[in-house]
Amino acid sequence: MAITGEKWQNTGQNIENVGRKMMPVSLAVAGLGVAAVKTASDFDSGMSKVKAVSGATGSDFDALREKAREMGAKTKFSASEAAEAMNYMAMAGRNQKITKIAIQHAAGVINGRNLAGVFVPSSRRASANYNLGSDGVIVLGVDESNRAWTTSSGWCDNQAVTIEVGNSTRGPQWLVSDYVLNRLIDLVTDICRRNGIYPCTYTGGKDGVLQKHEWYKSTNCPGPYLGSKFPYIATEVNKRLRGNNTVSKPTGGLYRVRKSWSDVNSQKGAFKNLENAKRCADRFRLKVFDANGKIVYPVGKTIDELAREVISGKWGNGEERKRRLTQAGYDYWEVQKILTNK
Outline where 261-302 has alpha helix (H): 274-284
Measured CA distances, 338 to 52, 308, 323, 328, 334 (Å): 51, 10, 18, 18, 7
Q: What is the 3-state secondary structure (H, E, C) of 228-291?
A: HCHHHHHHHHHHHHHHCCCCCCCCCCCEEEECCCCCHHHCCEEECCHHHHHHHHHHHCCEEECC
pTM above 0.95, yes or no: no
Strands 138-140, 130-132: parallel, antiparallel or unpaired by DSSP?
antiparallel
CA 334-340-341 angle, to 5 degrees, is 95
Q: Which domains does the chain have, with CATH numbers?
A: 9-92 (no CATH), 100-243 (3.40.80.10), 255-297 (no CATH), 303-341 (no CATH)
What is the per-residue DSSP string for 49-66? HHHHHH---HHHHHHHHH
Going residue by residue through the chain (342 aa), what tens digit of pLDDT does each one get? 333 333 323 323 332 233 333 233 322 223 333 344 445 667 777 677 666 655 556 776 677 678 767 766 656 567 676 666 555 545 556 788 999 999 999 999 999 999 988 888 877 788 999 999 999 999 988 888 888 989 989 899 999 999 999 999 988 889 999 899 999 999 999 999 999 999 999 999 999 999 999 999 999 999 999 999 999 999 999 999 988 534 444 445 788 888 877 777 888 888 888 888 888 888 888 888 887 677 777 766 677 788 888 888 888 888 888 888 766 656 678 788 878 776
Inter-axis angle of helices 9-28 and 32-54, to 10 degrees?
A: 150
Q: In angstroms, rounded to a whole number, what is the distance separating the alpha carbons of residues 284 and 268?
A: 8
Longest dimension (CA), the chain: 83
Centroid of chain to Cα 238: 22
Centroid of chain to Cα 205: 23
Partners of 161 in the β-ladder: 101
Q: How many CB atoms lie within 10 A of CB 92?
A: 20
